[in-house]
Amino acid sequence: MRIALDTNVLAYAAGIDDARRRDRALGMLETLSGAALVLPQQVAGELYNVLRRKGAHPAPVAAQVVRSWATALELAPSTTTDFGDALMLAETSGLQIWDAMILATAASAGCALLLSEDLQDGFVYRGTTVANPFAETLHPLLASVLETSSGSPR
């Protein structure tokens, strides 16, 4: 199963915000290390900005973190078609354009899941289900993937 990651997952893994979210993000990424994880291009750019602004990382450090993720994961470029789909999605669903771009790119990349704290848990677009990995109760699809990946219930 292909799983796309939103900016907040990687930002928390980098230590932005609280230790509980960092530990949860790192644990989840470790559990999913055998899955096909996808990094939408928009997320890579947003991560750089978050590391610079919120994390106060120097530009070379932030760039290296983003390069590391782009190398470790499959970087999914945004296409002209994705942009058109994102505009339509933003218009019809009320999503912010950049969130819609991430979701459209994830759908284009064939991802069954987009892990995001910012989008509506359970929202489905073109076969891609948004799941909040930081929710108290995980979306059943995400819970199933984590259970299968770890061999035990979460």
Place of tokens 């979210």: 21
- Quick one: tokens of 34? 């055998």
Residues 67-95 have pLDDT tens digits of 999 999 999 999 999 999 999 999 999 99
pLDDT single digits (tens) 28-66:
999 998 889 999 999 999 999 999 999 999 999 999 999
Instruction: Report pTM.
Output: 0.94
Run of H or E including 13: helix 7-13
Cα–Cα distance, 50 to 55 (Å, whole number): 7
Could you tell me which residues are beta bridge partners of residue 124? Answer: 129
